[in-house]
Amino acid sequence: MNRRSFVQQSLAAALLTSPALAALAADNRYRTQIGLQLYTLRTPLAKDPKATLQAVADAGYQQVELYGFPNSQAQIDAARAAGLSLHSAHFEWDSVVNPKDAALSDFAKILDKAKESGLRHLVIPYLMPKNRNTLDDYRKVAENANRAAAMAKKSGIQLSYHNHNFEFAPLDGGKSGFDVFVEEFSADMKFELDVFWVVAAGLDPIRLLEKLKGRVTQLHLKDLKAGVKTPTFQTNMPEDAFRELGRGTIAMAPIIEAAAKAGVEHCHVEQDQSPDPLASVKQSIAYLKTL
């Protein structure tokens, strides 16, 4: 993949203010089975997991994606009590990115817990700066991820990598860390694409989904405030840059349609920052129902 080609293809397809660019069928499987990444609700979850997850179910969400796995038992218990499905989790990434031994023994324990919890997806959610300074840093991450993905496959679990915007920053010769991942991830290793961070990096999520057809298993849907300057490769975005679906600049319907063509299995709403996260996730699912 050539990052420059993405930049040269403007954001016109992604940064559109009209949510009616494309309409979703009433039985669209992403809309009827929409998930929520629970990091969005980390503050209310810390206070009352059961009431928070019941509110999520009442709002119409069908599934939730855990964070902080395997230290997520309160989330698991509350989700099950609310009748929410569990398919995926963001987990302690150092077990793969910075393993303590060649056998990836800590990740093996996480796999055991994931199987016990009935999960089918595990996602590397982040990289610390020390793991993303150079292309060789990214190559090392890819090498470890490929080993872990092979282990996960034997356990019936799909391993994926969740992007931010820093992976798209040009490094040596203009090549990016994401380019390395695209080139070096094995067939067993997939992506969870976050559309907000793709747009923040100055790229078009639809074109990226087309390029990665068959390699993206899950999608994070979140909206970007109008007027935010892109491209940016810094993750310390203003808190109000994160908007509810339909209240920003990213047209979600065509992205969801592109996800279907690319073979994406699950879509999850996420909003990294909100002064009222429960109200925000309710607004986002209400918007999806209007598409």
d(CA 275, CA 184): 39
The H or E element containing residue 210 is: helix 205-211
Residue whose structure tokens are 């990091």: 39
Domains and CATH numbers, the chain: 3-288 (3.20.20.150)
Q: What percent of the chain has pLDDT over 70?
A: 92
d(CA 237, CA 235): 5
Q: Residues 6 or more apart from 26 whose CB is under 8 A from it?
A: none
**Which tens digit of pLDDT belongs to each residue from 244-253?**
999 999 999 9
**Which tens digit of pLDDT belongs to each residue from 89-112?**
999 999 999 999 999 999 999 999
d(CA 15, CA 6): 14
Number of H helices, E strands in the chain: 13, 10
**Residue 68 pLDDT exceeds 80:** yes
Instruction: Measure the CA angle with vertex 176, ends 172 and 181; round to 5°.
Output: 125
pLDDT at position 23 is 60
